[in-house]
């Protein structure tokens, strides 16, 4: 049986804002004038340059325009060909990187309204993450409150690199609002580019930037644990999207070992970090960075010690998608079913009506 027959829930599909013009109907008069007069034509994220090979598989790239901008193509690729029953849209766009937090709030609001009207309203199998102006937590909470009334928004979207570590209290109102509305918080690969994307400084290539994201995810998990955010919000679910998977066991081991020596620093962390991560953190499958060896894959899953952790994702239209090998060899039928469907239902309360 193919994984397609299980009708997976795809937890990471990218819808792309082709240019700021599509958002104009969703901006109020002031911001429409502002964007027009200032010539804010686009805010493509440097993390995903539209023409870079990483940004789209060749067979998913449209003849003209950016990949991820055409609903008919998305419908064909994700639902018809891959057999997804539901797909969660993540918009990675530069509004989250702006220094002007009022403009960021206006553009995030416009992105979410555009998503609802031009994607969710047109395709009932789509769900979406709320893009929030995290530069200002009050603005972010306001946007969560506005969108949460629409049950098709199933999580809150942040990026792997912000202007400060995500465990800091600046972000806690976002977590409080997310928990209150039954919304997990996704941390997707990407950066607001307040800092170099590697701890060594600014790299020369997108390759270094992208591979280096794994260390940002690790640092964010330590921040969420050590600053007490995960302890403060025990019902908060954090979904790492496009983080890779196989670094997690080594990271858990290291975090547990050093925590034992240094736990006097963090009295609110009352159990080993790996136990907290198993309860509150999930990871999407693509890219799956394991060698093509069933025994090794089985070992990684065993070391994570949870069959609830991994969520299916294609990362459409990015090139990370492994096609027929998307479900790693060595997964039992039961575990494959959990990864493809059940774990998403367990993670996203707003998908429960599907079960």
Contact residues for Zn ion, defined by CB under 5 A: 12, 242, 315
Supply the minimum distance, in Å, between the C-beta of residue 64 and Zn ion: 23
* Cβ atoms 107, 131 nearer than 8 A: no
Counting Cβ atoms within 10 Å, is residue 267 exposed (0-12), middle (13-18) or buried (19+)? exposed
Distance separating alpha carbons of residues 220 and 213, to the nearest angstrom? 11
Supply the minimum distance, in Å, between the C-beta of residue 318 and Zn ion: 6
Closer Cβ to Zn ion, 189 or 230, answer by number: 189
SS3 of residue 54 by DSSP: helix
Closer Cβ to Zn ion, 139 or 318, answer by number: 318
Supply the minimum distance, in Å, between the C-beta of residue 69 and Zn ion: 15
Closer Cβ to Zn ion, 58 or 267, answer by number: 58
Considering Cα of 197, then 200, then 203, then 209, what sign does the dihedral take? negative
Supply the minimum distance, in Å, between the C-beta of residue 317 and Zn ion: 10
Supply the minimum distance, in Å, between the C-beta of residue 313 and Zn ion: 7
Residues facing residue 34 across a β-bridge: none
Supply the minimum distance, in Å, between the C-beta of residue 87 and Zn ion: 12
Q: Residues, the chain, total?
A: 355
Counting Cβ atoms within 10 Å, is residue 339 exposed (0-12), middle (13-18) or buried (19+)? buried
Closer Cβ to Zn ion, 248 or 285, answer by number: 285
Considering Cα of 141, then 24, then 78, then 214, what sign does the dihedral take? negative
Supply the minimum distance, in Å, between the C-beta of residue 243 and Zn ion: 10
- Contact residues for 355 (Cβ-Cβ < 8 A; gap 6+): 345
Closer Cβ to Zn ion, 14 or 139, answer by number: 14
Considering Cα of 101, then 282, then 213, then 197, what sign does the dihedral take? positive
Q: What's the token pair of residue 69?
A: 């901008």
* Cβ atoms 329, 29 nearer than 8 A: no
For residue 13, CA distances in Å to 78, 86, 91, 225 come to 8, 10, 9, 28
Closer Cβ to Zn ion, 44 or 242, answer by number: 242
Supply the minimum distance, in Å, between the C-beta of residue 224 and Zn ion: 20
Closer Cβ to Zn ion, 54 or 71, answer by number: 54
Closer Cβ to Zn ion, 209 or 242, answer by number: 242
Task: Give the H/E segment covering residue 21.
Answer: none
For residue 271, CA distances in Å to 230, 267, 276, 317 come to 12, 10, 7, 39
């Amino acid at each position: 049986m193919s994984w397609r027959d299980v009708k997976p829930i795809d937890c990471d599909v990218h819808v792309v804002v082709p240019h700021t013009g599509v958002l104009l109907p969703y901006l109020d008069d002031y911001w429409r004038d502002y964007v027009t007069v200032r010539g804010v034509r686009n805010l493509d994220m440097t993390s995903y340059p539209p023409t870079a090979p990483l940004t789209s598989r060749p067979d998913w790239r449209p003849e003209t325009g950016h990949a991820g901008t055409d609903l008919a193509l998305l419908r064909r690729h994700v639902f018809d060909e891959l057999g997804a029953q539901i797909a969660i849209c993540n918009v990675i766009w530069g509004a989250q990187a702006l220094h002007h937090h009022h403009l960021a709030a206006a553009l995030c609001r416009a992105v979410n309204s555009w998503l609802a009207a031009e994607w969710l309203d047109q395709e009932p199998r789509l769900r979406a993450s709320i893009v929030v102006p995290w530069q200002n937590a009050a603005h972010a909470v306001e946007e969560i409150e506005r969108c949460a009334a629409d049950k098709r928004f199933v999580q809150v979207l942040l990026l792997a690199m912000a202007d400060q570590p995500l465990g800091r209290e600046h972000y806690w109102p976002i977590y409080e609002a997310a928990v209150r509305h039954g919304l997990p918080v996704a941390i997707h690969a990407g950066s607001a580019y307040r800092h170099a994307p590697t701890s060594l400084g600014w790299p020369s290539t997108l390759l270094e930037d992208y591979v280096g994201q794994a260390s940002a995810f690790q640092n964010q998990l330590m921040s969420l644990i050590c600053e007490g955010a995960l302890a403060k919000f025990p019902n908060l679910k954090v979904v790492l999207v496009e983080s890779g998977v196989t670094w997690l066991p080594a990271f858990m081991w290291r975090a547990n070992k050093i925590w034992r020596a240094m736990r006097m620093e963090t009295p609110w962390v009352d159990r080993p970090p790996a136990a907290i991560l198993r309860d509150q953190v999930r990871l999407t499958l693509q890219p799956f960075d394991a060698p093509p060896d069933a025994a090794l894959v089985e070992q990684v899953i065993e070391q994570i010690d949870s069959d609830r952790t991994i969520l299916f994702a294609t990362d459409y239209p990015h090139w990370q998608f492994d096609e027929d090998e998307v479900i790693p060899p060595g997964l039992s039928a039961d575990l494959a079913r959990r990864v493809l469907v059940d774990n998403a239902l367990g993670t996203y309360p707003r998908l429960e009506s599907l079960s």
